[in-house]
Chains A and B, each alone.
Chain A
């Protein structure tokens, strides 16, 4: 042995050592020099300060020995910052190395220079960098691309002034895939600190180049490219599909980060694919296996994957609905994996698999790990709330668990049983007795508070409720605030229910809360109760014992707009924390909020059958009143002024562009569907579809006899049942009277108290219908009183496509609460009086419409001749332009015009003696004043013609 491998760690760097190293560094022997540099590096890596040797180490830089060069570079990068003047000495060597014939050295030099974060050096870096960006060797080019990002980090202005950004953009079209990948990575990093710069100018050409490079570059490059692709918004579904097809093979990559980035691209672009496309189904199927595979990886990977899967199942539960079993917990999974798996199990729980899930959860509840057991018990409660059919089984499972008498299990069980009571009131109260047995073992505030709530809420059924509550009262001051507040409320409830026996108790608690407590919340609540009880016990009863709204499982779903944004950020830190990136990442100032492409405004709605409640965004499914911010926001600044002036701003024009495209496809379909009772695709559907309300009702002539020439008005229907309106019942209808659309409502107060302060507001809707004035309910509505109100409407409100098209979401406010309901207006109220088209125009338009675009409907059981029908329809502003009789069949040609200037043409065929009418409506039925151009002129973009359909 000549010299054993030296263990650099054993040498401690004291001042003597430094001196020794200095001597060695200046040695003439190459070998000795190298060993000395190695020792210096070794000391540096463990955090020892060897900066004093700077000049000596830099002196070793001029060498042909690549290893020595690299080591010196390593040292330079570490200490240049603290010795900027010295670092300048190295510049010359760098510049020279950038000209070296060996590409490895050229690349190394430009790479190292970029890492020296000294302003003076960056000036000298520009010229070599410019050369290297255009180097003939791709290895140098790809290194230089990254160097631009480094330089940008040090001096952004310099990079822009020198035009490096443009050079970088050119590199996206480089012939070498690695260079492309690095250029994309560098640009992405630069773009992150310039959120608004249009650095990544993504167009179909660049996308094509990226997709080509994707197949050939390294796994890391693939991640950069995929993440970049995810920022692109395809022009149409065909482009979207072709990108998806080219990205799908990445799902089989061994690198999980590639897989997850590919999932992100697919999840995003899928939004643009029509649901009935075969490919859409194929894609859904392809997504499941790679996600499942991620769960067999190391726990750290699993964790990140699970956090993302949590988002994916909220958005598209159908992808993993059959994969419940992979989320079953293994006892030696790390706790962070266990908890995530549990969460997803609940999200996937459905009636079909609930038995299996419950059996598992019960198993988990007997494990050792306390945190996990607690969460498992909670999960059982969440299952009960989510899957109604399982509630009974869940409750009995919880009771079994309470029987184990394991302290923390019992406490958790009581907390969730409280929630179950709030979801299914008056159903499982039989278990209260069992709960009360465990009263003494409860030592956690949350469990105590839950138990007290139960006792108070069901005081009338618990014989010794007063004793139980009294026992808590003894240590009132030692309880946490949560428990104190609950105890106060519970005793007041008890008093209102059993006033005779509990007077003393309530006085005691009120005095404890108001006089002996330092907590302002508690004092305030105490005083409120006190005053309520002393002034008006009846009112107190109504306030304290009021019916509480039911809770639902949606409370732990992520808010839909946030979910959409997070889906666009799958695989990132944001997706791990379930927070928008703007909320927490420091480096990314003002990140643009990303939205899923399908939901930008009027676009196609996101309905996938199971996601009903989770989907949402701007186009909420019809039945559910969206609880998201913007609607609430609108409603909160009601102020009783007509929303036409204070209402939300018109939708952004980008939305309109998309809307136009969409109207061509979906809009008209829905218009027809909504107005005439059947979607064109659904063949000659009968007019009895509940959506209709339009022509169907118009022909409901039996009821129409009484009003010979007036417009048809459907009878009032109940919109808001008293149960949901806290006693307020609203029924109503729509009518068109003297050219004004009116919403005619009957308000009935079925509650015990007087209602005042009524106000109304509409959500954005398809035709921009909005109240033209405030809701005129001037006198308070006393109990059992009924009042008729007619609210004039205009059509200048903001527009958003609804489904069905004539759906209207309404919020009514009174002194009690805000109530939401949705109703459907007959499309006929929108037919304007000047809807009579000139004969010539009609003829020309009718001819222009291709035959195959026609849809036909049948109206059955209509015993009216054509003239009578015609005059009847005229009353509803449907005008007969011409009449023709062929083979004993009367053909009526009719026109009508909607408030938003859409013309509708129709042909009505009436066979004498045959009660069935046939209505034909050509699909391209809309024409505006400007000839031969089909326009959709919405109220929101009034004056801005040109949204072509």
Chain B
């Protein structure tokens, strides 16, 4: 099982270590540093690194490497999932997951890690349970604790630990009972030179924020559940009911949680909400290149495409770019060769355009590679797959909750090749 955990910051310092079994010397991280040195980009460090006696499994989140040390055969996904859970918990407790936040709360961090694993076996990883065991630090609580001398460690056995609904605390009370659901879809797509779609798929999630008193039992039904053929559920969802009736039936955890994530595969037709017209050329023998890029909306069902951000890694030979945006602002970093153009909203009547020249190093030959254009955007009030919630019902409690559903479409890894 998981032996030890090291947290390493971007500059390669180990700033926290935790051992669940015997102590493993820090020197084991040297193998990690070697791999880190070899990798050109921080994210290229391989997630599984063998060393003579141990294996290092790492994830990179918020510019911190979480490096787990294991000694025997342990499923790597199990370790990675656990590390993700650690990151989520820190974020949940401290608002951010940064080196500073972790250092400031080192005792809580230690208590948390001790609660999350026992001898390398996961013990309590549900945020609800952890919060009953160890209260998150707040300024108010710190003050109160100091005055009263009370502690931020719960004295009671967390109620959820052993119940059949371990994800929910008992005795939850709210004055305003509300349940909000966000349907968020991300489009991953690769568009080729000519504008045709090579692959496109949708990663969707339904994130919920449920603040309901007592033990509510919710059902959520869809207008078109047929779309959801590849889904991953939160453990609270009753799978049998979904199999039989295509209805999500569940007792929700308290607070924020991800109800389900789904995947609409490339085999279904995926609507592409923006198009790009581009002309990026370098001529042999000339030290200049031309750059011309126009964005336009399509298949957006009349909804506005907002927060558009275009970025592209220009070839290494490009010295600088002299461009003229019809709207928004652009920057070109001459060191990393990264061009970013903050477009904002696309106005269908006046399409945003970025045009101008790029200067190459004198005497350099024509670059071989074609830059890929990365696009980010958001479309409110629309789920691009067409998924629609039909209704949300609550059983088991008497009050009338306030319900809300929001849709949003975003670009995930949306790439246009030139």
Contacts and interface: CB of A to CB of B under 8 A. Distances in A.
Interface of A: 1-3, 5, 7-9, 30-31, 34, 38, 41-42, 45-47, 65-68, 70-71, 74, 78, 81, 102-104, 111, 114-115, 117, 137-139, 143, 146-147, 149-150, 153, 176, 178, 182, 185-186, 189, 192, 216, 218-220, 223, 227, 249, 252-257, 259-261, 289-290, 292-293, 296, 298-301, 303-305, 322-323, 325-326, 328, 330-332, 334-336, 360, 363, 366-368, 404, 406, 571-574, 576-577, 581, 584-588, 591
A296 B263 contact: yes
A585 B234 contact: no
6 contacts: A5-B142, A71-B111, A223-B75, A325-B199, A330-B415, A335-B40
B41 interface: yes
B199 A326 contact: yes
Given A2-B143, A2-B146, A104-B156, A189 B1 contact: yes
Nearest to A178: B162
Nearest to A330: B413
Contacts of B153: 66-67, 70
Given A2-B143, A253-B232, A573 B48 contact: yes
B17 interface: yes
B11 interface: no
A292 B230 contact: yes
B152 A67 contact: yes
A259 B369 contact: no
Contacts of A146: 118-119, 121
Given A257-B78, A292-B230, 11 more contacts: A9-B103, A66-B151, A67-B153, A70-B114, A104-B155, A149-B119, A178-B162, A254-B258, A296-B188, A368-B313, A573-B75
A586 B188 contact: no
B213 interface: no
Interface in B87-127: 103-104, 106-107, 109-111, 114, 118-119, 121-123, 125-126
A220 B125 contact: yes
B10 interface: no
A114 B240 CA distance: 40
A182 B75 CA distance: 16
Contact of A31 (B149, B157, B231): B149
B47 A303 contact: yes
A256 B72 contact: no
Given A66-B155, A111-B118, A185-B121, A300 B1 contact: no
B177 interface: no
Contacts of A330: 188, 190, 413, 415
B151 A223 contact: no
A332 B374 contact: yes
Nearest to B124: A218
Interface SS of chain A: helix
Given A8-B106, A366-B370, A301 B80 contact: yes
A544 B125 CA distance: 67
Given A303-B47, A336-B47, A404-B368, A260 B59 contact: no
Contact of B157 (A102, A150, A298, A404): A102
A586 B71 contact: yes
Q: Which 5 residue pairs of A and B lie closest in terms of their CB atoms, listed nearest first?
A: A587-B72, A289-B230, A67-B153, A67-B151, A257-B77
B170 to A, nearest CB: 15
A41 B26 contact: no
A296 B23 contact: no
Nearest to A250: B239
Interface string B59-80: 1100000000001111111101
User: Residue among A102, A259, A304, A588 with the most chain B CB within 10 A?
Assistant: A304
Contacts, number: 262
B417 interface: yes
A256 B59 CA distance: 15
Contacts of A3: 146
A31 B122 CA distance: 31
A115 B156 CA distance: 23
B201 A296 contact: yes
B285 to A, nearest CB: 15
Contacts of A31: 146, 149
B107 A331 contact: no
Contact of A46 (B15, B20, B164): B15
A139 B17 CA distance: 27
B404 interface: no
A325 B200 CA distance: 9
B138 to A, nearest CB: 11
A192 B203 CA distance: 38
B149 A30 contact: yes
Nearest to B235: A219
A253 B235 contact: yes
Interface string B1-33: 100000000000011111111110010000000
Contacts of B370: 366
Contacts of B161: 139, 178
A218 B80 contact: no
A303 B48 contact: yes
B55 interface: yes
B3 to A, nearest CB: 10
B266 interface: yes
Nearest to A327: B199
B265 A227 contact: no
B73 A115 contact: no
A9 B107 CA distance: 11
B17 A45 contact: yes
Given A2-B146, A220-B122, A325-B199, A581 B46 contact: no
A254 B233 contact: yes
Contacts of B147: 2
Contact of A573 (B46, B74, B122, B154): B74
B121 A74 contact: no
A289 B106 CA distance: 41
A289 B78 contact: no
Contacts of B265: 289, 292, 323, 326
B22 to A, nearest CB: 6
